[in-house]
């Protein structure tokens, strides 16, 4: 019988840009897919625009990897579309996001040291 390999946060790094942005949004609270798309575009001043394929493909992979989970909690049915699925970050997802942020921080420090500036343009 084949042994299942347990995924660690290091196995998932570096994260795709879309996945990191989704984790950042969900760290603030539960959201549905379209709300994630809008919030990511807003936060990045339109620099990151996730198409439906990237967004829902990323969500599907993140669910399978245990980074996020679907929420059972729903807003008032009069204020929401019942077809929407809401997602939240898992404790493992938080660990992975923190590890990615630390990895990126180290990379920015290295670049700043190599290019002689603390502020990269």
One pLDDT digit (tens) per residue for the chain, 121 residues: 444 456 788 899 999 999 999 999 999 999 999 999 999 999 999 999 999 999 999 999 999 999 999 998 766 565 667 778 999 999 999 999 999 999 999 999 998 888 877 565 5
Domain enclosing residue 66, as ranges: 13-115
* CATH number of 108's domain: 1.10.10.10
User: Is residue 3 in a domain?
Assistant: no
**Domain count within the chain:** 1
Q: Which of 66, 77, 76, 81 has the alpha carbon at shortest distance from 35?
A: 81
Measured between alpha carbons, how far is 58 from 63 in angstroms, rounded to an integer? 9
């Amino acid at each position: 019988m084949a042994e299942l390999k347990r995924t660690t946060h290091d196995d998932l790094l570096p994260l795709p840009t879309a996945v990191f942005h989704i984790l950042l949004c969900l760290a603030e609270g539960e959201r549905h897919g379209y709300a994630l798309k809008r919030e990511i575009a807003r936060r990045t001043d339109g620099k990151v625009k996730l198409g439906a394929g990237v967004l829902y493909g990323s969500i599907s992979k993140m669910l399978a990897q245990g980074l996020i989970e679907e929420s059972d909690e729903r807003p008032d049915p009069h204020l929401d579309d019942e077809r929407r699925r809401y997602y939240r970050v898992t404790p493992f997802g938080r660990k992975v996001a923190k590890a990615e942020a630390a990895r990126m921080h180290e990379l920015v420090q290295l670049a700043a040291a190599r290019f002689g500036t603390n502020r990269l343009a």
